[in-house]
Amino acid sequence: KSLTIGLIPADGIGLEVIPAARKAILAVQSELPAVKFIDLLAGWNTFTRTGTALPFETVQALKECDCALFGSVSSPSRKVAGYSSPIVALRKELDLYANIRPVISVSADSASTPAVDLIVVRENTECLYVKDEKLIRTDTGKEARATRLITERASTRIGKIAFELAKARPRKLLTIIHKSNVLSVTDGLFRESVRAVPTLPGIDGKFDDVTIEEQLVDSAVYRLFREPQIYDVMVAPNLYGDIISDAAAALVGSLGVIPSINAGDNFVMGEPVHGSAPDIAGKGIANPVASIRSAALMLRHLGYTSAADKIDKAVNDTLAPAKVLTADLGGSHSTIQVTDHILGLIQQQ
Ligand code: NAI
Ligand code: MG
């Protein structure tokens, strides 16, 4: 058995932080089947050199991989003919329907920052993002309409992922985010489909120990800022999930520590939440933690729990108490110094 991992650093600090994640995976090799890395191209740099942001060879190669790590792309702020985001295309191409984003406080010792430890699970394929929009002219002026698609199939499959994640955590609490007091048909279907997961054939009581709560999306954001510690796993349709996951990220200080995975039934891709950070790219000061945690999350999703635990523990001990920090967290250590500290702690475990 082997584990083939595609590496797509892409642009900007992706080129600095993905190598750090690669080293972290190698450091826990003893917990894994034989690891093989495949270096792949995508992104703005690739577009300017080859005319495509996502070469066909990259997609083909990924289909031979078990999983992948994606760095970050620089998307032009103006519209460029022929360019489209490779990350959006990859999610579609590989049917990565779940976006999973754990948000954890860097340190629980500051009185002003509440301890946050939650996971946002966002449906990644439908809702308003089906981009079915129409503009028509009426007697009274322009009128724009968008279709919002919610299916039982997609809501059920994201629900299953959310229940699995909740079950694996100490608090085993799942909060369904919706607005079904207003959108009773679409959000109603999402909510009912997720709620029905524990009763599906084949589940056999597996999720009986998971507590289910619900929260309207507006009050969920309010409570997220007032008392984030009440949340454990949150599951939401695409648009609410997009907003909540960015809002939750704001709670912990730096984008540089927040990992994510895009998961489907046959593939998982780790991806730090941050972008290509052109303001610090090339200086060796980018925080590698988001990418290293994304690697751990990817391994955990594949069932390599002990490997993921080792990486996460070393990362947590590096942030606090060791406080070996990059500048975004108020420290003065380099990408390499933080990475080496994490690798050293993995070695000691
Ligand atoms: P950004 O996430 O790249 O940077 C925002 C701020 O956070 C910057 O000051 C940056 O230096 C800092 N930062 C981000 N990651 C960091 C890290 N690991 N360590 C230390 N500091 C970090 O977002 P921005 O500036 O809005 O976008 C820059 C480029 O990235 C754009 O071209 C944008 O389109 C792209 N982008 C790509 C994403 C992706 O690949 N999924 C997501 C967001 C933006
Ligand atoms: Mg977003």
Q: Which residues pair with 136 in a beta bridge?
A: 143
Q: Quick one: which atom of ligand 1 is closest to the CA of 71?
A: 40
Q: Which of 106, 276, 283 to mutate to test the pocket of ligand 1 (most atoms within 8 A of CB)?
A: 276
DSSP class of 103: E
Give residue 12 CA to ligand 1 midpoint distance, Å: 9
Is residue 65 within 8 A of residue 6, CB to CB? The reply is yes
Model pLDDT for residues 289-326, shown as the tens digit of each residue: 999 999 999 999 999 999 999 999 999 999 988 889 99
pLDDT at 96: 96
Using the mean position of ligand 2's atoms as its centre, give its distance from the Cα of residue 124 in Å: 11
Give the residue whose CA is nearest to atom 12 of ligand 1: 277
As a whole number, the mean pLDDT across the chain is 94
Pocket test for ligand 1, best of 274, 283, 294 (most atoms within 8 A of CB): 274
Q: Answer yes or no: is pLDDT of 9 > 70.
A: yes
What is the pLDDT, as a whole number, of residue 109? 52
For ligand 1, atom 11: residue with the closest CA = 277
User: DSSP assignment, residue 196?
Assistant: T
pLDDT, one tens digit per residue, over 44-97 is 999 999 999 999 999 999 999 999 999 999 988 888 998 988 988 898 889 999
Q: Taking 50 as the threshold, does the pLDDT of residue 110 lie above it?
A: no
Q: Which ligand is nearest to the CA of 258?
A: 1
Report pLDDT digits (tens) over 153-199.
999 999 999 999 999 999 999 999 999 999 999 999 999 999 999 99
The atom number, within ligand 1, closest to the CA of 327 reads: 20
User: Which pair of tokens denotes residue 266?
Assistant: 């046959």
Identify residues whose C-beta is under 5 A from ligand 2, the ion: 242, 246
Give the pLDDT confidence of 28-46 residue by residue, as tens digits: 999 999 999 999 999 999 9
Say what the pTM is: 0.92
Pairing relationship of beta strands 67-72 and 34-39 according to DSSP bridges? unpaired
- pLDDT tens across 192-229, in order? 999 999 999 999 999 999 999 999 999 999 999 999 99
Question: Contact at 8 Å (CB) between 278 and 243?
Answer: no
- CA 254 – ligand 1 centroid, Å: 11
Query: Sign of dihedral through CA atoms 270, 271, 272, 278?
Result: positive
Q: Is residue 107 very low, low, confident or very high in pLDDT (cuts 50, 70, 90)?
A: low
Ligand nearest to the CA of 248: 2
Say how far apart CA 278 and CA 294 lie, in whole Å.
21
Tell me whether residue 150 is exposed, middle or buried, using C-beta atoms within 10 angstroms of its C-beta: 0 to 12, 13 to 18, 19 or more. Answer: buried
Greater model confidence, 284 or 113: 284
Give CA–CA dist 262/267, Å, rounded: 8
* Nearest protein CA to atom 42 of ligand 1, as residue: 275
Quick one: tokens of 43? 């992104």
